[in-house]
Structure 1
């Protein structure tokens, strides 16, 4: 064997060595991860995600997971014969829908993520926005213009909430080195009267990232990132350019709340917000610990 022949394991060792500057960058820093979409229902991806989150914790990062559950909610609503619709990427939520939303998000989905992380060697704790006064919300409002009269009309989204106040004291307690827990949060909040609300998971993750002063907000989705009208991936977007991208139709549907959340987060102290493909194994590690990153970063 020549001196230049790679030794088994040498490539892995070189990769770890190259990651050192990035590992140092995120040491004892908080990273908020919005987890949802296809990655949640694919068993192999779910296991890989759980392992990556545990690895982050062992590398000195404080991961906080905020999860969605749209496909699972839609499935149960369909089985129960409850009609549901979306407006501007947000699910219109009446009383019956809200009952299903809370049951699915705070129940089987939250606990399945907790179990997966614990199985991978972590110490996950399941929460919702209702626990420890974590996320108080107000009723979300949206307006639209009538195409004929051009008069603005209010869209009634029902029990859809927007974060108004986030108390992260319980998260700080869980993630310090004396306890070393990994919070897993279902995006269900409550208002001053104790009424429960469905909160878009991206929006909830952004608000929690801001309150924690997170170094990164990672929004996992089912696409490679944000694309322009020609279908090319936009590696970087300036927060101030997002309204124009929405207005000209480059961004639509569920990508709207993602980009609005990302823009708000970076304007309010989060170190960076990235929209990346949750279907790609180890997307979290590629984004945080490699030179090229993954997906679209909002600056």
Structure 2
């Protein structure tokens, strides 16, 4: 009896959210840690398909850093980084293209289509979805001395043309986007997937941006899960970046959320995509499970 009542309460709680977000575009980004975990990728795809069936328009952006590193090691190419940033030379960008477009993107599309839903794999190079400019040299401190390092084939988004994605979502496809862009001279550039997701959310006039990662959200103390911050304003988000509460790989996620919300996306969420049905719990329940960033 209790189980039935609990299920009924869950459905009643979800109903107003289903009504509110019907017809809305939801941009979901998940990283390489989720992609290489079969159980996590299976669960997150089921959540995304349910969003589709209740009338939303999900758009997926994926990363793939761990898989790129694994393939490089297998090929005997030592990954190079400075100050935590991957140096992407000519060999590395070719591996990145192969892994992101030829491997991960295809894998996600296949898993969606196995569930009976139409999907299409795209990169920034398709239809000039997004073009980028090569990043300038990065200032880093090495052994107490400041140096400028060329990161190679790494780009920053310059322009986005969302028409292709809009056509696909209107035709009931779930687009799956790889963060490889075309540069001004036609070269391929690797772009941070968090930045891609944030910019696409704005350009698509998305209702929500969801960053699914391998941590519970923004934590006051990264070593203590009980310090999860459930809600942040833009002002508070900027403050915790400045004071060092947010660090490492969480910084581009929070920045992408700030930029998206600043440009009109209603709310952005950082959640643990390795938890079962985390997307559904964040969108369809009052409490949610991660960190929500909103304007005020």
Q: Is TM (by shorter chain) over 0.5?
A: yes
1:270 to 265, 268, 292: 265
Q: How many residues align?
A: 291
The equivalences for 1:24-43 within 5 A come to 24-43=19-38
- 1:82 shift after superposition: 1.8
Displacement of 1:143: 4.4
Taking a change above 3 Å as real, the CA distance of residues 24 and 157 of structure 1, as seen in their structure-2 partners, is same
User: Match of 2:114?
Assistant: 119
Q: Which residue of 1 aligns with 2:39?
A: 44
Tell me whether 1:175 sits opposite 2:166 in the alignment.
no
The question of whether the paired residues in 1 share the 8 Å contact of 2:83 and 2:140 is answered with no
Contact 2:180–2:188 under 8 Å retained in 1: yes
Q: Could you say which residue in structure 1 is the equivalent of 2:195?
A: 203
Deviation at 1:47, TM superposition (A): 1.6
Farther-moved stretch of structure 1 (35-44 vs 47-56): 35-44
Within the candidate set 123, 127, 130, 1:128 is matched to 123
Give CA deviations for 1:87-133 in whole Å, capped at 9, x if unaligned: 56542211111000000000111011001111122111111110011
196, 213, 226: which is aligned to 1:221? 213
Deviations 1:253-294 (A, max 9, x none): 111111111111111111111111011011110111110112
Deviation at 1:40, TM superposition (A): 1.6
Q: TM-score, normalised by structure 2?
A: 0.91
CA contact (8 A) 1:89 1:254 kept: no
1:286 matched to which residue of 2?
Answer: 281
Per the TM alignment, residue 30 of structure 1 is displaced from its structure 2 partner at its CA by: 0.4
My pick for the range that moved more, 10-19 or 258-267, is: 10-19
CA pair 10-148 structure 1, distance change in 2 beyond 3 A: closer
Aligned residues of 1:127 and 1:184 also touching (Cα < 8 A): yes
Distance 1:141-1:252 versus aligned 2 partners, 3 A rule: farther
SS for the counterpart of 1:287 is: helix
Unaligned runs of 5+ in 1: none
Cα deviations by residue, 1:12-59 (Å, 9 ceiling, x for unpaired): 333222211100111000000002243222222222122111111110
Partner of 1:95: 90
> Over the residues paired in the alignment, what is the CA RMSD in angstroms?
2.1
Q: For the structure 1 residues 244 and 157, does the alpha-carbon distance in structure 2 shift closer, same or farther, using more than 3 Å as the test?
A: farther
Q: Is the 8 A contact 2:162 2:200 kept in 1?
A: yes
Given that 2:132 and 2:182 are in contact with CA atoms closer than 8 Å, whether structure 1 keeps it comes out as yes
Partner residue of 1:104?
A: 99
Moved over 6 A (4+): 147-151
Query: Residue 125 and residue 237 in structure 1: after superposition, are their counterparts in 2 closer, same or farther (change >3 A)?
Result: same
Distance 1:87 1:223, change over 3 A: farther
Does the alignment pair 1:68 with 2:63? yes
Q: Which moved more, 1:258-267 or 1:30-39?
A: 30-39
Instruction: Quote the residue 1:163 is aligned against.
Output: 157
Which whole-Å CA distance do the structure 2 matches of 1:212 and 1:203 have between them?
14
The answer (yes or no) to whether the contact 2:52–2:58 under 8 Å persists in 1 is: yes
Shift of 1:148: 9.5
Q: Distance in 1 between matches of 2:237 and 2:199?
A: 18
Q: Tell me the equivalent position of 2:252.
A: 257
1:248 aligned residue: 243
Give TM-score scaled by structure 1 length. 0.90
**Counterparts of 1:54 and 1:69 in 2: how far apart (Å)?**
21
